[in-house]
Chain A
Amino acid sequence: GAGVSQSPSNKVTEKGKDVELRCDPISGHTALYWYRQSLGQGLEFLIYFQGNSAPDKSGLPSDRFSAERTGGSVSTLTIQRTQQEDSAVYLCASSPNRDTDTQYFGPGTRLTVL
């Protein structure tokens, strides 16, 4: 079946602009995660959604970052007033439920802030 998909695959933006990154999880997966992969920091957890519960935002690096998940499926990660240090690959992962610890990753969105 279809895996996790993300769009766009690449995004180049100017410092100060807002960007939206999209994730389509595997159908039926209730858990959704966002991670960031950058040269200096490696892979970092950002935010977690489980069904219709309030998200766990403990990994978001600043209040410029937010995410939502509509209808328990598609998720959008928004970065406001982008900075150069936001340049990274943003990865989305999904999991069948909260009791399953195997996560399935999408191909990522490479964000470059000029």
Chain B
Amino acid sequence: GDSVTQMEGPVTLSEEAFLTINCTYTATGYPSLFWYVQYPGEGLQLLLKATKADDKGSNKGFEATYRKETTSFHLEKGSVQVSDSAVYFCALSGTLQGGSEKLVFGKGTKLTVNP
């Protein structure tokens, strides 16, 4: 079945460092890919998404490119801030019967950014 594998961390960086969180997936068909973020004490929020191969999703300085050839959707940010400290989840849209979709999540990567 569909699955998502992401580096589990935790990841600890200094402010202004470069961030990469790796994510690879296994899926039948052509799913949409997502990064969700969970800030401390808050619910899951969509960070960015890409719906087809070679699409780049971007938001708040974060970017991820849908790479069909390597089945990857790595999250990157050039200069992290303390406020980026959160848990990041990679996900894909997996098809349910009847064509509806569920999200299949990776296990999450906890990022801590120190000043």
Chain A residues close to B by CB (< 8 Å): 4, 31, 33, 35, 42-45, 48, 50, 53, 56, 58-59, 91, 93, 98, 101-108
Contacts and interface: CB of A to CB of B under 8 A. Distances in A.
Interface of B: 32, 34, 36, 42-46, 49, 51, 89, 91, 93-94, 96-108
Nearest to A44: B105
Nearest to A100: B101
Given A91-B44, A105-B43, A107-B43, A43 B105 contact: yes
Contacts of B89: 43
Contacts of B45: 105
A45 B42 CA distance: 19
19 contacts: A31-B100, A35-B103, A42-B107, A42-B108, A43-B89, A43-B91, A45-B104, A50-B100, A53-B98, A56-B97, A98-B99, A98-B100, A98-B101, A101-B49, A103-B103, A105-B36, A105-B45, A107-B43, A108-B43
